[in-house]
Structure formats: structure tokens, C-alpha cells
Amino acid sequence: MSKLPDPKDELSRIFIDNLAQLGQYLRGFLRSPQDIEDVLQDAYIKALESQQRQVIRTPRAFLYKVCKNLALNKANSHPHQFTEPLADLTELESLFCSLELEEQLHQQQRFAAFCDALKRLPKKCRKVFILKKIYGLSNTDIAAKLDIKVSTVDKHLAKGLLMCRDDLQRQGLDISTVAKQMPTQRRRAGE
């Protein structure tokens, strides 16, 4: 970015303090460094515009939400650039920090098995499942985003859950122990 925001403003200060983390977060959605920089700039502008219209009580969470929405819009406008954030395990590092080394290894293995199970889902089913379980979108939003019926979203979700459960059970794992490690659930609890 060519010009840094005014550090006197709280939203600008929070943006500057979290700039590297926001960029890292966006790497889960976008591949191009230029796209990431564009989204960061647009997110800052949108956040400032929103701040003029309303009080932003949780500026950091608000910035992440704006970045996520802009990244999803950009990823949808360039479908060949869509990357599933499951491949980016850097975000998971903070999840494992407080755990013992052995438990970390077991959790990483379980999560890797879950990611593998997701990769084996049919493409459309996997997209629906990820939009619902990772990004937390509603079934209506998913249907609109993918241009399918809500009932089709429901069918893909049910199919995805069953296939993942069966896959993990074949490996001797329980989906409930893996689902607790999903990044969105951790983020929601922290927001």
C-alpha cells in the first residue's frame, strides 16, 4: 500500500496493527498478492465509510468480516483463483500452541484426515460443505452464491456430512473430535 492510514484514529491503528494478520487471513481465500493488497485497501476504505455511518464496537472483528466478504466477492468473480483455506495450515498453528506436543500430533493427524475426507467429496458438495461449515454462510446465501436451490444445498450438506463421517469412521476417527478443531468454530468463539 502506498499510504498508511492515520494512526491517531482507533480503527486505523487497529488496521495497521493487524495488517500482517489480515493479509495472512486473506491468503486462505486469494492466491494473488495483488488481489490481497486490493482487498486490504478496499476493506480499509469500506471500514472507514462504515465508521462514518455507524459505531463499530469491535473494530478488529469488523475488519476481518469486511476482508472476508470482499475476498469471497473477488474469489467468486475469479473462480479459477478460488482456493480452499483448508490447504493453508498456518492459521491452525495458533490453535495448537497451548496443547501438549503429543496431543498436537494427534489433533494434526485427525484434522489432516478430516481435510482428506473433504477433498474426496464431489466438487459441488465440497464447495457447499466448506461455505457452510468453514465460512458459516446460511443455506440461502450458499444457494444464491452458487446459483442452486436451497433444497440442493441441503442435499449437498447431508451428503457431505455422511461421506465425511463414513470416511473418518473407516479410519477409526469420530467426526465430533475433528469438528472441534475447525478454524471457523474457533473464530466464532473469539469474536
pLDDT per residue over 29-79, tens digit each? 888 888 899 899 999 999 888 888 888 888 899 999 999 999 988 877 765
All domains of the chain, ordered by start, with CATH?
A: 10-81 (1.10.1740.10), 85-190 (1.10.10.10)
- The answer to whether 118 and 64 have CB atoms below 8 angstroms apart is no
Rounded to two decimals, what is the model's pTM?
0.41
Of how many residues is the chain composed?
Answer: 191
pLDDT of residue 70: 92
From residue 100, alpha-carbon distances to 89, 179, 185, 186, 191 in Å are 18, 19, 21, 18, 25
Q: What percent of the chain has pLDDT over 90?
A: 25
Residue type, 183: P
Q: What is the pLDDT of residue 102?
A: 64
- Tell me how crowded residue 141 is: count the other CB atoms within 10 A of its CB: 16
* pLDDT interval class at 174 (50, 70, 90): low
pLDDT of residue 78: 60
pLDDT at residue 87, as a whole number: 45
In this prediction, residue 132 carries a pLDDT of 87
